[in-house]
Amino acid sequence: MTACLEITQHPGAAPKATVRSNVAVPLRFADGFTATADVMTFHGLADGKEHLLLALGPWEQALLGGTAAGYAPEAKADGPLVRLHSECMTGDVFGSQRCDCGPQLREAVEEIAAIGGFVLYLRQEGRGIGLYSKLDAYALQDDGLDTYAANVALGHGADERDYTAAAQMLEALGADAIRLLSNNPDKASQLEALGIRVSEQVPTGVHLSPANQHYLAAKRDKTGHTLELPAVPLNAVPGHYAVVNLVDGLIPALRERAEETEQFRRLPESTVEALKAAGIFNVLAPKGNGGYGMGVETYVEVIRRLARGCASTAWTAGHLTEHVWMLARWPRQVQDEVFSSGTSPLAAATGAPMGEARRVPGGFTITGHWSFASGVMHSEWALLAVQCDGVRLQALVPVASLELLDTWHTSGLRGTGSNDLRANDMFVPEHRVVDWQLLSAATNPGSLIHPDPLLHTPMASLLNLVAPSTALGSAEYAIELFKDQLMVRKVKNTTQWRQADSALAQARYSQASGLITTARLHWQEAVQILVSSHKRPGAELNDHERASYRLSLALSGQASEEAVRLIAAASGGSSQRLSHPLQRIQRDMNVLLNHPTLSIDPIVEQSGRGLLGLGFTVPSF
């Protein structure tokens, strides 16, 4: 029997659905437990999927507020006990222990059958991404990603489930108020928004196994599931390829938001949240501070691949990640302060020009106007260069205490939000001001705290990697666009069916490909010089290595820029529209090549001196 109640539809509710069929099905689980369910199907579900509702026990009495055994007379106000259960073939059917879905389903049927209510079996495999994608996500979890990060790495949302159909099914039976059997707060929030009142959220049991402890911990830590887990060692540090896959999953969305990023002159919050969810800012953070403790090779690959989506995002993320590494070089007191939240702290850093510091009781007062603070729009902290009595220092201050000046109006890299900062006689406590020479030395305070070899690397080395890595990724995106253009049908002003059939277009494409290969080889050479230095004590580069390192990076940037120039010249009139991605790539590349880390003339001069053994005339080179 289907209960019929008069329902007033909630303003946010979905269109009404109706019961299509109702058939009694005896159930038997592997442990011998049995129950009988009235299995209902529906017309008019919003997503068109074949969801099921299993009505269990004295469900009509529970729905109407009857007095079945074990069910209080006042239950009508609270509603029946309901479980929204997303389909999980691996757990429900095959008994997979990688999740807790099978045991939760078994538990829900028994609890609901005892007092009356519903199990809604929703066809949303893998939190909505599908069975095949869920299995792909399992492979990424084997490489260290958690269940949510793995979904994101595949280009999906962390959780794509929508409970509109569930609300329609409940409304079709008149269940406008329920007791929800779930640990997931998102289910309750969505149902409430759809007009279903959740009078109580009843937690399920904790079905812990050695195979699902990381999975359950991620649900607890990332989406607020009400789970009490024993203290177990969790190895949540992903491998190199897992991080790379995560970044590749971000690229389509970065391309879609690239124009918006330019208009905002900062990264959209959705981009920043996606970077955080992917763990990008953890790449260089020491494991002792909750980071991944990865090396240069992963760091530069992240920047390069982000640039295939958006150069401004690559530049900003590259510097913010590098600044986490800079903060890990500070003394223990500061590290305990900035890493206390358990997440990698975001900090802008600028030294152009240096401000002035004056000693006062308990610390310093600083005054200055600093430019090019990339990522400041998303930062809590700022690392500022100051000098006191001719000694260069670095001061760490909260961004909120500084004056932020809207000065970043540029032709390229517009989305980096590299605005100016100003302070006037700002007090900075002594522990947040450190001698630059100490921070930049191979034996810095952080290197005595953490075993990460990268902390012994000279401070400027990682700064020099951001621009060429961004340039290379941008050039790779440009040639991808060029290839797409060449391969489509085009008949304007030519006898060829498509541009790719033109011998000249073929030559231009091969020439641009060769330039990008040159850029990549120079870039790889520079990275290997730096990586090799980490294998010996001190990690200091000698003059010959430093000259080769800077020269290879500069030549990589030049080859990337030349490839983009060649591609732009052969891409026709349509590429001149401001909405065309190639226009943005050209503008970004122009700004990148004017950055000091890629400015060719001083680099080739100093590199020549270093290669000839003449010594550098620029000490910071």
Helix (H) or strand (E) holding 23: strand 18-28
d(CA 178, CA 196): 7
Q: Which among 483, 512, 79, 455 is positioned nearest to 289, based on CA atoms?
A: 455
Kindly report the length of the chain: 621
**Which residues are CB-contacts of 149 (< 8 A; sequence separation ≥ 6)?**
140, 158, 238, 246, 277, 278, 279
**Which residues are CB-contacts of 531 (< 8 A; sequence separation ≥ 6)?**
295, 296, 297
Q: Which among 386, 458, 468 is positioned nearest to 421, based on CA atoms?
A: 386
User: φ and ψ at 372, to 5 degrees?
Assistant: 60, 50
d(CA 592, CA 583): 14
Task: Give helix 240-256 / helix 296-307 axis angle, nearest 10°.
Answer: 20
Tokens (6 digits) for 443: 């034996």
* DSSP type of residue 619: T
Residue type, position 250, single letter: L
d(CA 471, CA 236): 31
Tokens (6 digits) for 330: 């500070």
Residue type, position 370, single letter: W
Counting Cα atoms < 13 Å in the Cβ hemisphere of 480 gives 13
* Active-site residue, selected from the candidate residues 92, 100, 159, 176: 159
d(CA 191, CA 195): 6
- Report in angstroms the alpha-carbon separations of 583 from 209, 229, 255, 400, 535: 53, 52, 13, 35, 42
Question: For this structure, is 161 an active site residue?
Answer: yes
d(CA 573, CA 571): 7
* Active-site residue, selected from the candidate residues 127, 161, 304, 432: 161
Sign of the torsion angle spanned by Cα atoms 398, 403, 406, 407: negative
**Which residues are CB-contacts of 156 (< 8 A; sequence separation ≥ 6)?**
128, 129, 133, 249
Cβ-contact 117, 180 below 8 angstroms: no
d(CA 457, CA 450): 13
d(CA 128, CA 150): 13
Residues marked active site are found at: 159, 161
